[in-house]
Amino acid sequence: MAKDQQNQQKNKVALREEETQRFWAENKIFEKTLEDKAGFWQKLFGANPKREFTFYDGPPFATGTPHYGHILASAIKDVVPRYKTMRGFRVPRRWGWDCHGLPIENIVEKDLGISGKREIMEYGVSRFNEYARSKVRAYVKEWRRTVDRMGRFVDFDGAYNTMDNTYIESVWWGVKQLFDKGLIYEGTKVLPYCPRCETPIANSEIAMDGSYKDITDISVYVKFPIRKEKNKFLLAWTTTPWTLPGNFALAVNPSADYVVAEVANALGKKESLILAKDRLASTKGEYKIVAELKGKELVGAEYEPIFDYFSKKDFPNKERAWKVYAAEFVTMTDGTGIVHIAPGYGEDDMALARREAIPFIHHVTGEGKFSADVSDFSGVAVKPKDDPKNPLTGSGQAHQFADIEILKNLAARGLLFAKEKIVHSYPHCYRCETPLYYYALPAWFVKISDVKDKLLRLNEKINWIPSHLKEGRFKKGIEGAPDWNISRNRFWASPLPIWKCERCKKVHVVGSVKELEQPGRNHFLAVRHGEAENNTLRITNSRNYSIHGLTNKGVSQINKTAQSLKTEKIDLIFHSPLLRTVQSAYQIAEVLGLPKTSVIMDDRLKEVDPGDFEGASVETYRKAAGMDWTTERFDSTKGNVEPYNAIRKRVGQFLTEVDGKYAGKKILIVSHDVLIWMLTAAAGGLSSAEAVKLRGEGDNFAENAEVKQIPVRYLPRNQFYELDLHMPYTDYVTLSCTCGGVMKRIPEVIDCWFESGSMPYAAEHYPFENREWFKAHYPAQFVSEYIPQTRTWFYYMHVLSSILFGNVPFENVVTTGTILAEDGQKMSKSKQNFPDPQIIIDKYGADALRFYLLSSPLMKGEDLNFIERDLDSINKKVIMRLDNVLSFFLLYRDAISHFPKGGESPKVLDIWIKARLGQTEREVTAAMEKYEIDRALRPVGDFIEDLSVWYVRRSRERIKGDDDTDRHYTLGTLRFVLLQFSKLIAPFMPFLAEHVYRSIILDPADKANPASVHLEKWPDFMSDYEHKNELEAMAEVRALVSKALELRAKAGIKVRQPLGKLWIKKQELVKGNNELLGLIRDEVNVKEISFDSTLSDELALDTTVTEALKEEGQIRELIRAIQEERKMKGLTIKDIGDLTLETTEAGKRIVERNKTLIQKATLTRSITYAGNLPGEEVEVGDSISFKVGVLK
């Protein structure tokens, strides 16, 4: 779409906001608030910043475009830092990206057309993770555009990434600290599990939005034959029939009452069922109780396994299988009072199995399918996701398929007693939407149980908004928190830094990259060839090995270098195949006395291939091919030039091969400038950015004949020999165990919430860098996210900070509710049940959207149905009103030559509006100091209404009138109020605040002001403008006016129709104050006001309309119509118009009697009469009407 077409779809406010955005960028307004130099702070506050205000920005995934929830979060994270900056704090605002985990992996699997761990392994973990890395930043541009467009000041360029090596290293440090404190252990537990992703899912993730869905499942009553007793069964109930092949026990409540009930089976034959007495209703038919017993009497009873897949196998504790055990968790609320125990698929089941040494064997694979042992159902998925494209599973009941197959089998063997459908809320994977189930697997845990008291105690230090979260959701979450499973069976994440000995099983936790570093076996040096002919000619040469040898100068340079190398005791020389390096290598060998057999050519050391520019001038080559020392050049193949990554790869392979072949040797490499640079980078595992920094800004990394040390260190490195702490590279590193065995890294990766929770220190690479900075900036003063983060990011930060630093991670936290569609449903792109945020911004502007969200119940932690009508109302009542006030001021400000100071006017209306401004500033400041943004915005909206609907409307005639002094007072007051109010709203509505501010300070007399309202300090005039009496008096005036207008309405008389008299009963606040009485008189449109304390009501209104009053009302109606016509024709106060009227003779007589009044009120030069004017007639009463025409 062309830019002009796009702009046509945006309203003028949106276009103006974009212009403001450009102004901020061009003038680096945000950057100026962060300047380390004291200039900004000295000028604004007369001192350096009080201190830095720290807030943590929770990292989002850039796997999709921002939605309203992100916009709300960004708005909050913009308001508080802007406010704190204006209060004298320096507020760094660093963006961050969440890079790892299932969200990215799922996208990659879809892109590659693969699914599940097996197919990922077949594809290759390194290829999979490299592809994942490429997808991490897919939507960064869209995010930046949206966040910038919403007016947020934030540093994107310096963003931290959870996939960076520095971040991962700090996360590893955190893991090691917890391990050293005895808080990390390995254990087998039953955990929520996603079979498609083949990894456990945290309880906190299950609690995320949309994880639970209502589904229909099948519950079954199953008969377990009692061993050696014919037709006698234990009747058990389960909602997970697919777990029945893994049954190894039954559980009863030892203190409950049980019965033996005689019933008729499906064939009419009698059989005996044992079940709880309180659950007899589950038999759903006639029965006869033949015996009663306590649950404890059933303990130890043996029964035949209903599936015999494991009965003929040998396994530990087999003698403990297929018996009845006592368990207090067995209740009488549902089922039969007898619980089927499959230890691998339930927490209570596993606890009972551990207590009683009951064996368990997994009959379901990690992929969520019946194992080969379960021969009748092998390969069948036990809880698959519905696939709408598959006719067999598209009914929405695919998850029942395995259960139905089990039921058929049981029914055929007479073991199915009954079945029922149940509808329940069931957890699904928060990323792939596959149904979850509980699954026993080995994992690594943090002992939350050992630190709960500390977590609860530190929670008391946190200021929660809304406050009920402290004792409610967050505290209760801590109290009920299980030990934290920090391991995941996936790929694209920080590897869990645990190495385990294959021989003795000893565990070592790595807490830094240094612990993995292993030195090379040999000592490498590199020397660049001496000056060659191509150097003096300034041309490229890479492919023709036999030309461009050394110059005489080059020979001399190499000779000098060779002399200096005598003390190094070189054993071997490797060189590039080009003539200049061959000559240099053999000359050095001759000086050092090395045999020719010690000089070895290696093609991997040859010069950079210049592609299309072989033989071209160096200048042409660099200019055309982009031969710069930048990170972009590492992948660039412009002009078919060899990218740096290809060079780094070949020299890295050379170093690895040679270092593996020799040991204890001093090896000299004779090569070229870029090659030596890449050798150094590959040897050290440097990233592209680190390599660029290493090279510096000079023309050469290595001068002709210069020697460079190449310290080789072995670290986890990717295909380009960069340090890479991801899988599979960390898995290649082995460590030596004290027992002599080999330690290898375990296969699991770290829970991504551990990464996110590490953000306060990992973003700064603490403790490896920035130790002092971190200490000075921890904990954060402020964080904000939506309320489910109380169970995730807020919780995990709290856990890690409490353990690692003994303190809270943040002091103040603002949590918000969830934004829903207008109908209360979750916003869904597929359902298209919400308006596109970009369209909304183009239609109303970002400030209106910010105000709407920030002033809503969301800020109380409540949910909000997004209703565009409400946003439109905010736009009209707040944005447009203030815009109109500014337009009114700008229209008339040129009418005066100077503005009096804000405090000069003695007029009550001016004193009142400044008092209201002071009152508003007090209320906004008090709310913001408590981080109550919605409460801060309430008085802002109220003030705009007072300013527009009362002050400006009541001041129009003062500005238009003949009293120059009063006009000066009015415009001076309005200017003062607008300027101060622009500062007050700057954190909330940054675009509108800037527009108001710059519209005023662009006056030539205001050069001393900062260029932007966002470089101003917070307004502080509340003590100067309290004026409680004026506030109370004006409130009384407005209340009296409102009641008087109600009397008019009851009488059916328009406000434009003047009336004779108004009587007022109360006298205290307004009697004797002519200005206040004048306001009442004008607003109510009466000629006279009197006071009468004997009135039965507060007010009385004379509704008699005399002929004189009637005519005055008619003239007011006409003047209104003329003003409307002027407005429609685009005339301003600077335009004098010619008025033409079409009316009756009676109408003409009214006009002539009031001609002077009409001309003055409507800025009319002449009045003429004509017929057949276009437009609608304006009825003014007494059958008199007018048509109006105005010419400029």
Give me the mean pLDDT over the 1112-1123 stretch: 92
b (16+ CB within 10 A) / e for 917-947: bbbbbbbbbebbeebbbbbbbebbbebbebb
More confident residue, 693 or 137: 693
Residue 48 confidence (pLDDT): 61
Name residue 532's amino acid.
Answer: A
Q: Is the pLDDT of residue 392 over 80?
A: no
- Name the CATH code of domain 846-1026 (choices 1.10.730.10, 3.30.465.10, 3.40.50.150, 1.10.1740.10): 1.10.730.10
Answer whether 747's CB lies under 8 Å from 489's CB: yes
Q: Is the pLDDT of residue 560 over 70?
A: yes
Residues paired with 1143 in a beta bridge: 1186
User: What gap in Å lies between CA 9 and CA 1075, rounded to an integer?
Assistant: 47
Closest by CA to 243, choosing from 367, 370, 355, is: 370
Per residue in 1049-1082, pLDDT (tens digit) is 999 999 989 999 999 988 777 887 888 888 889 8
For the chain, give every domain's residue range. Answer: 3-187+758-829, 213-343+374-427, 515-724, 846-1026, 1033-1101, 1114-1191
Q: Where are the beta strands (DSSP E) in 25-154?
A: 94-97
213-343+374-427: which CATH topology?
A: Isoleucyl-tRNA Synthetase; domain 2 (3.90.740)
Residue 1071 confidence (pLDDT): 83
The DSSP-derived string for 732-752 is G--EE-TTS-EEEE-S-EE-H
Q: Is 1183 exposed, middle or buried (0-12, 13-18, 19+ CB in 10 A)?
A: exposed
User: What gap in Å lies between CA 746 and CA 191, rounded to an integer?
Assistant: 19
Q: DSSP state, 256?
A: S
Residue 536 — pLDDT band, cuts 50, 70, 90?
very high
The DSSP-derived string for 361-403 is ---B-TTSBB-TTSTTTTT-BSSPPP-TTSTTTTTTTGGGHHH
Residue 630 — pLDDT band, cuts 50, 70, 90?
confident
Residue 1135 confidence (pLDDT): 87
User: What gap in Å lies between CA 476 and CA 481, rounded to an integer?
Assistant: 8
User: What gap in Å lies between CA 428 and CA 211, rounded to an integer?
Assistant: 5
522 Cβ partners below 8 Å, 6+ apart? 658, 659, 662, 663, 664, 665, 666, 667, 712
Q: Is the pLDDT of residue 1 over 50?
A: no
Closest by CA to 354, choosing from 387, 320, 329, 398, is: 320
Residue 900 — pLDDT band, cuts 50, 70, 90?
low
Per residue in 150-196, pLDDT (tens digit) is 999 999 999 999 999 999 999 999 999 999 999 999 999 999 999 98
Q: Is the pLDDT of residue 2 over 50?
A: no
Residue 1149 — pLDDT band, cuts 50, 70, 90?
very high
Considering only 198-202, 532-536, 653-657, which range has the smallest mean pLDDT? 198-202
The SS3 assignment for 1139 reads: strand
| Tokens representing residue 882 in the block | 């203030």
3-187+758-829: which CATH topology?
A: Rossmann fold (3.40.50)
Residue 1102 confidence (pLDDT): 92
Residue 65 confidence (pLDDT): 85
Number of C-beta neighbours around residue 1108 at 10 A: 11
Residue 585 — pLDDT band, cuts 50, 70, 90?
very high
Per residue in 235-268, pLDDT (tens digit) is 999 999 999 999 999 999 999 999 999 998 877 7
Supply the pTM of this predicted model. Answer: 0.88
Q: Is the pLDDT of residue 131 over 90?
A: yes
Per residue in 20-50, pLDDT (tens digit) is 999 999 999 999 998 865 556 666 666 565 6
What is the percentage of the chain residues whose pLDDT exceeds 90? 76
What is the percentage of the chain residues whose pLDDT exceeds 70? 95
The helix (run of H) or strand (run of E) holding residue 425 is strand 416-427
Residue 43 confidence (pLDDT): 65
Give me the mean pLDDT over the 311-324 stretch: 95
- Name the CATH code of domain 515-724 (choices 3.40.50.1240, 3.30.2090.10, 3.20.20.140, 3.40.50.150): 3.40.50.1240
Residue 691 confidence (pLDDT): 95
Q: Is the pLDDT of residue 527 over 70?
A: yes
| Tokens representing residue 232 in the block | 């006698």
User: What gap in Å lies between CA 1024 and CA 837, rounded to an integer?
Assistant: 42
| Tokens representing residue 802 in the block | 């409490």
Q: DSSP state, 807?
A: S
Residue 5 — pLDDT band, cuts 50, 70, 90?
very low
Residue 396 confidence (pLDDT): 56
Give me the mean pLDDT over the 600-611 stretch: 97
Distances (CA, A) of 418 to 223, 241, 410: 9, 12, 11
Average pLDDT value over all residues in the chain: 91
Domains 213-343+374-427 and 515-724 alike in fold = no
Answer whether 85's CB lies under 8 Å from 77's CB: no
Widest Cα–Cα separation across the chain: 128
Cis-peptide into 225, omega within 30 deg: no
Give me the mean pLDDT over the 698-712 stretch: 94
Per residue in 324-382, pLDDT (tens digit) is 999 999 999 999 999 999 999 999 999 999 999 999 999 999 999 999 999 999 999 99
